[in-house]
Structure 1
Amino acid sequence: MSNPPELPEFPSPFNFINNVPITLVELRMRNFSGQIREKPRWWEKVHDADIVAKWRSEIIEQDEKVVEQFWGGEKRFDDGNGEKKWPREKITGAQLDYIFDELKDLAQAIDHETGIQRTAIDKVYQSKTLIPADLKTVFLSGVSILESVPPEEQDWHPGANDQVLDLVHPSLHCFRIGRSPVLIPERTSGCPDPLFVLTEEQYLEMREDAEGAIVSQFISTNYQWLPTDFEVSQPGRRLYSNITSILQRFLPLFERVLSDSSDPPPPLAVAANPGGWYEDEESESDLSDDEMDARWRKFHWPVIHDPAPFSPPTQEGRTPLSLNGRKLQVIIKLANIVLTPERPKYPGGSWHVEGMVNEEIVATGIYYYASDNISESKLAFRAAVGDGTDEAGVSWNYEQSDDRGWTVAFGLRQWRSMNQELGSIMATEDKSSLGRGRYSAFSLSTRRGPSSRRATFPAATIVVPRRAGKVPALRALPQEIWDMIMQYALAGTVSLEEAKQDRLALMEERSHFVIEHNREIFEVEFNMCEH
């Protein structure tokens, strides 16, 4: 049996990628397209002329309200201070045509067996029917064992206001660099000490992916998440096998996301030219300076053109990726977000990526297996733009201090962070989704009755598939060597209390990392200086 082909390099959130910004016009189109894709059986309804006419009317009405909010009245002649993230002009017929022509094309690509479909956000997929009802029922039965432990054994996530109940989390019993013993296979032959504790230097030597000035800032020399292990007692064995079954259902989602991540990005629907988006104006030599300023304020605005008519994207240069025959590393989180009348609101999550360089996570999947009595919740996404410098890269053609143009075109502005919010998807029961995002705030729908629970995971984060592991695994060994290893291994075990202390230290380290990573990658300020 031949080995699977070598996988390509996947983009890393710890390296700069010269992302071209998306116009607000296109982001608006994607926003409305995403709303349609959340509707039941939209792939059938999009071919019904009466329904489409109704949807177009609703989009026009909704857009008018948002345009009025940001650009109505005198605000139409004020480019704001970075808060304007919606186009200045109302949505056009050409933009609506593009939305619905694209939806008709996407409707043909839905996998009706799994329910997998593209969202309106690049490299993000979802399904509302991925997990069969019978698998969900058995899975919930297994989860109930973890949920029904005595209160003193419940593991409330530190710093989460007793609202996040961890059932499985990789921060507990993590790999401790310089302290956790590992088996180095080449040391077992004729070596009296088969277990080995890697020093920080030895660990970093094994991590070729940690080289580089930027990446080296984002690697931990203290901790690393591992594929989560939890005690598999006889009643718990069923849960373990069911998580495996759920992950198996997720494989087509992972394959699609990884294929998109390694392929060239699709062309944007709406192009904008910063060097030519102002129309030439006739000089009015007889006007005073004040009159010229008033004229400039009223008429000097960038023109963002409509998209060309939609045409199906070419598949040239795109290679479907298969995970068949590969060893995968998966980090599992299993958690409940619990709201009560005493704590009825969840504030939402912060912008962050999963893990650090240590984990080398390339995709994250989420299965919402239960949801009850909560308000609408969403999973939001954003992307850094530019090349990581405050001048955004030489490929960006801009006029010095053109705040007006960049605000209207992209929602970007001088001395503001160079990132764009790409949109969000609904977080509802039974939905499975794949991508990296941030949870919005939500609350109890009603404060009557007992506490309400929202189970939001398992979240499975998949590590770069081609690497067997950054921490060598135990192999099949003769019994006498196994007994000897167990003696050494027991010396390296930690108590639950010590594991919780390590978790707090890991969380503290990663909270600082999130701040630094956002500052260095996602929140670099746009200088817009002279080239």
Structure 2
Amino acid sequence: MIYLHLLRENPEEFLVSWPGAPEEEEQLRNWIEGRDEPLSLHNVLEWVEDNTSIFWDGIDKNSYIKYVVDNFARNFQKEISPTATIRLPGYGYPLDKMPLNGYSCFPVIATSEGVNWTTKPLFIKELCILKAVEEITNKPGWWDHVRDTRITDGWKKEMLALEWSDYLNHATFTLPMAEWCIEELKDKADLYEKTGLIPILDSKAGVIKSDKLVPDDLKRELFIVSKKLLQTLDENDISHNGISFHLIDPSIYPLIYDRSRILPDRTINRTNCLEACGKGDILQSIWGPNEKDRPSGIFDCFSQWLPCDVIVDETGHAKVDSYINNLHPVHHADMYTTIEKFITLALPAWDIIYRAPQNFRHQRISNNGINYDCTVPDICADRECSWSNMPTAELKNYLKRKEFQSEEFEKKQQLATSDPKPMVFTPPKCDESRLLNLKLERDEDLMDRHLRKWANEEGHEWIGDITKCRVDCREDPIYNWFNETHPFQIPEPSRFYSNPNCPKSSDVRSHDFFGFRHSTNPIQVIVELTEIRLTPENPEYYGDLWNVDGRFNEHIVSTAMFCYDSDNVTANHLYFDVAPREDSTWDQPLLNSNDAMRVFAIKSGGKDSQVLGRTLVDPGWAVFYPNVYRHRQGSFSLVDRSRPGYRKVLKLCLVEPSLPIISTSNVPPQQWDWWTECKAHNEGLNIAERLPPELRDIVFNDVDFPIINGEAKIIRQMLKARRGSFELFQTDPQDELDDERQDYEGLDNEDQDDEDQDDEDQDDESQDDESQDERSNFDESDNE
């Protein structure tokens, strides 16, 4: 995407091979030069269609756009680096450059041209199958038990006896669903026994988990080297918010447009990167100096995370070739070796996820349209079935019936609690290890969670009322009547199990990953090492917001998450959702919000995302997920609230293998303390020390030093504020509440001392004015 300042300065680049009349070309030049707001090439093409005789007949518009954009990017690179021989997205190529040499690539949620990846919504029945498979594959010995028909017959009975509406509203579980689960588990048992990998939450894309991929000695090795890293870091070197501590943070010392340097005609590696400190050309922003000309959304026009280059040999073993950003290549060489082992373990799972959208996509229940089964044809008559058809008399009868049923239920409950010997269900005698004992816990509702916390902490009674209202509103008598009298005809899974696209052990590669790559071409990985620490004063982690990893700049396709250590904390889950698009993926007419909830568990008639489910993130499990799924880390808390606890996680983000981006092989280290070890720096320092003090000050003031620690923290805060949580489609209300809560608490903590002093010195009226100003500032920061 090329913006206004480039079009103004170089309109002839757009007008290369101009297919229109000369006078129309002049009109276009005048229109471009007269605009004040940002302008994309797509805006220009729309103007051309509306104001000229060209309708692109016989012209490939997309090819023309790419041709013009590539010209802009190449010429802009020549202005920055006349000797450049390297071309990468953002440096010689546009940022939205897609894979080179005609290779297809892994889908992304959105591009500069709009939505890139869509999926059909899954019926609630299929969501329940995903839940059952995920829960069963957490059980010890499931891969053996699933082949014993005596055990699986018991499993089916257990699954059918469960109250699935406790997991999802309107959920049911049928015998065909149970039989499908067993057959699918048999396929996955074969894969697990031979490879250790278990595909879950899989449809058009999928997640992979494993509880035997990472050996205990490797977890211990990472624990030791990360502890050594922590001991060498100054407190000021660790970015944190009081709970999450980032030992390796890609948001510290990233590539910063108009500040970072890039080597135009060579690359560096771990052995010579320190000597390249301070060298290269400053990478100017293609959007120009004016902030208003810079777009928001899928791009970060101010920065980019820097991946390291990783060479994978013919045996499938990984070797980190360029430095890992914020991990010293000499002082922490042992950690490089450890991280290489984790990358090697991640490659087979990454490869399956990368090929899944084309080779392993499947849907268990065909989504080819749905219909109501109207049980009150005399009421609906010739009208379209709708909740508004409910007669007043029927509403009164319905309410009386429900009131009677409620009273009867309460009587039974009272009898049950007063009975000294209540009836207890006794399962048949058998080996307890063979029972499923599934627990259908409903996915946590962050909005209810935070509303209640605010109500308790801040004394906002109205928030408690809203929470109660949200529950009460779910029991609307008219909707309930319509739901009961108009059940949907939802199809079942096929009676004859067939899932040819389920990955098999023969599909799991030990080398030659990602299909088209030549073995000499490196892959790129972004490394992040995080510890979440809880204390008796802060005993609970409230979870993250929905997000994807990185922005379009980073072209991340999949992430590996290894929880390698934890202590004194409850179980933690990673949640996933997708964004079905009704304009291109729904085969039935657009549903109202009530119907969408009944059929797909989607709010707002399909405009919101669909939660697929969750999986454990504990030291026993490794999790791999595609970046077309949004994810969020769930909440967890201390087990023993009298002592601290922690959870430690290594995240590895895989960059699109067919599209290398600017990496640490192109950008010399920017850390001040690394630069002081550079030979050129020390030689220059020796010369400078012999200068008179006044000349030495002039030299140091004029030298463009690498980024110092304090500035790096400011840059990270700016990057975090600008990126926020990368939400490309409509978010749930709890997301907005979380945003507000975090911003509110951050503002409150930063200004607490000043506010306390102001409270002593100012009267009530001035306090009210200050509160109003503070709210205004909060609104402005939130908008930014």
Q: TM-score, normalised by structure 2?
A: 0.54
Structure 1 CA distance, aligned partners of 2:342 and 2:246?
19
Whether the 8 Å CA contact 1:168–1:335 is kept in 2: the answer is yes
1:497 to 701, 710, 715: 710
Partner in structure 2 of residue 146 of structure 1 = 229
Partner in structure 2 of residue 509 of structure 1 = 722
Task: Give unpaired runs (5+ residues) of structure 1.
Answer: 71-84, 188-192, 205-214, 387-391, 477-481, 524-531
Letter in structure 2 aligned against 1:363? S
Partner in structure 2 of residue 163 of structure 1 = 243
Post-superposition Cα deviations, 1:1-39, rounded to whole Å, max 9, x if no partner, equal xxx997422110224233211000110111011100111
Going from structure 1 to structure 2, the CA distance change for 1:309 and 1:120 (only over 3 Å counts) comes to: farther
Kindly indicate which of the two structures has a greater share of residues assigned to helix: 2
Whether the 8 Å CA contact 1:25–1:87 is kept in 2: the answer is no
Letter in structure 2 aligned against 1:115? G
Deviation for aligned residue 1:57:
3.7
Partner in structure 2 of residue 77 of structure 1 = none
Partner in structure 2 of residue 176 of structure 1 = 256
Deviation for aligned residue 1:384:
0.3
Going from structure 1 to structure 2, the CA distance change for 1:471 and 1:203 (only over 3 Å counts) comes to: farther
Post-superposition Cα deviations, 1:233-275, rounded to whole Å, max 9, x if no partner, equal 766211111111111111111111101134473133253513x
Q: Give the SS at the match of 1:108.
A: helix
Partner in structure 1 of residue 497 of structure 2 = 311
1:409 to 599, 610, 613: 599
Partner in structure 2 of residue 208 of structure 1 = none
1:470 to 650, 656, 662: 662
Whether the 8 Å CA contact 1:46–1:104 is kept in 2: the answer is yes
Going from structure 1 to structure 2, the CA distance change for 1:413 and 1:140 (only over 3 Å counts) comes to: closer
Structure 1 CA distance, aligned partners of 2:717 and 2:157?
52
Partner in structure 2 of residue 107 of structure 1 = 189
Deviation for aligned residue 1:185:
0.8
Post-superposition Cα deviations, 1:301-353, rounded to whole Å, max 9, x if no partner, equal 21212211253323599998346613111000001111112211001111000
2:369 to 249, 273, 279: 273
Letter in structure 1 aligned against 2:651? A
**2:122 maps to 1:22:** yes
Whether the 8 Å CA contact 2:246–2:530 is kept in 1: the answer is yes
Letter in structure 2 aligned against 1:29? I
Letter in structure 2 aligned against 1:128? D
Q: Give the SS at the match of 2:297.
A: helix
* Percent of matched pairs sharing the same residue: 22
Q: Give the SS at the match of 1:47.
A: coil
Letter in structure 2 aligned against 1:120? L
**2:120 maps to 1:35:** no
Partner in structure 2 of residue 441 of structure 1 = 635
Going from structure 1 to structure 2, the CA distance change for 1:297 and 1:106 (only over 3 Å counts) comes to: closer
Q: Give the SS at the match of 1:266.
A: coil
Q: Give the SS at the match of 2:132.
A: helix
Deviation for aligned residue 1:282:
4.4
Structure 2 CA distance, aligned partners of 1:506 and 1:410?
36
Deviation for aligned residue 1:406:
2.5
Correspondence 1:53-452 to 2 at 5 A: 53-62=153-162, 64=163, 66-67=164-165, 69=166, 85-88=168-171, 90-110=172-192, 112=194, 114-121=195-202, 122-149=205-232, 152-153=235-236, 155-157=238-240, 160=241, 162-185=242-265, 195-201=280-286, 217-227=297-307, 228-232=324-328, 236-263=332-359, 265-271=361-367, 273-274=369-370, 276-278=371-373, 282-283=377-378, 289-290=391-392, 298-315=484-501, 321-322=514-515, 325=519, 326-386=521-581, 392-393=582-583, 396-399=586-589, 402-414=592-604, 417-435=607-625, 436=627, 437-448=631-642, 450-452=643-645
Post-superposition Cα deviations, 1:220-243, rounded to whole Å, max 9, x if no partner, equal 111111124235376621111111
Task: Give unpaired runs (5+ residues) of structure 2.
Answer: 1-99, 268-277, 290-294, 308-323, 383-388, 399-480, 509-513, 669-678, 685-699, 735-784
Structure 2 CA distance, aligned partners of 1:367 and 1:296?
47
Whether the 8 Å CA contact 2:559–2:652 is kept in 1: the answer is yes
Structure 2 CA distance, aligned partners of 1:442 and 1:290?
48
Partner in structure 1 of residue 47 of structure 2 = none
Post-superposition Cα deviations, 1:492-519, rounded to whole Å, max 9, x if no partner, equal 51101111111111011011x635x343
Using the TM superposition, name which of 319-328 and 116-125 deviates more: 319-328
Post-superposition Cα deviations, 1:387-414, rounded to whole Å, max 9, x if no partner, equal xxxxx21653445664443222112344
Q: Give the SS at the match of 1:12.
A: coil
Post-superposition Cα deviations, 1:185-217, rounded to whole Å, max 9, x if no partner, equal 189xxxxx972112211899xxxxxxxxxx973
Structure 2 CA distance, aligned partners of 1:128 and 1:101?
21
Post-superposition Cα deviations, 1:75-105, rounded to whole Å, max 9, x if no partner, equal xxxxxxxxxx4334x3111111111111112
Whether the 8 Å CA contact 1:37–1:119 is kept in 2: the answer is no
Structure 1 CA distance, aligned partners of 2:170 and 2:281?
59
Structure 1 CA distance, aligned partners of 2:391 and 2:331?
82
Letter in structure 2 aligned against 1:447? R
**2:104 maps to 1:8:** yes
Post-superposition Cα deviations, 1:457-514, rounded to whole Å, max 9, x if no partner, equal 21000111123333583599xxxxx969x989x8351101111111111011011x63
Letter in structure 2 aligned against 1:169? D
Q: Which has the larger radius of gyration?
A: 2
Whether the 8 Å CA contact 1:118–1:126 is kept in 2: the answer is yes
Deviation for aligned residue 1:365:
0.5
Going from structure 1 to structure 2, the CA distance change for 1:13 and 1:231 (only over 3 Å counts) comes to: same
Post-superposition Cα deviations, 1:12-71, rounded to whole Å, max 9, x if no partner, equal 022423321100011011101110011123111111234324433433343x2x42x58x
Partner in structure 1 of residue 3 of structure 2 = none
Q: TM-score, normalised by structure 1?
A: 0.78
Whether the 8 Å CA contact 2:638–2:644 is kept in 1: the answer is no
Structure 2 CA distance, aligned partners of 1:60 and 1:519?
35
Going from structure 1 to structure 2, the CA distance change for 1:483 and 1:102 (only over 3 Å counts) comes to: same
Going from structure 1 to structure 2, the CA distance change for 1:135 and 1:170 (only over 3 Å counts) comes to: same
Letter in structure 2 aligned against 1:446? D
Whether the 8 Å CA contact 2:119–2:585 is kept in 1: the answer is no
Correspondence 1:509-528 to 2 at 5 A: 509-511=722-724, 514=726, 517-519=728-730
Deviation for aligned residue 1:181:
1.1
Deviation for aligned residue 1:452:
1.3
Q: Give the SS at the match of 2:155.
A: helix
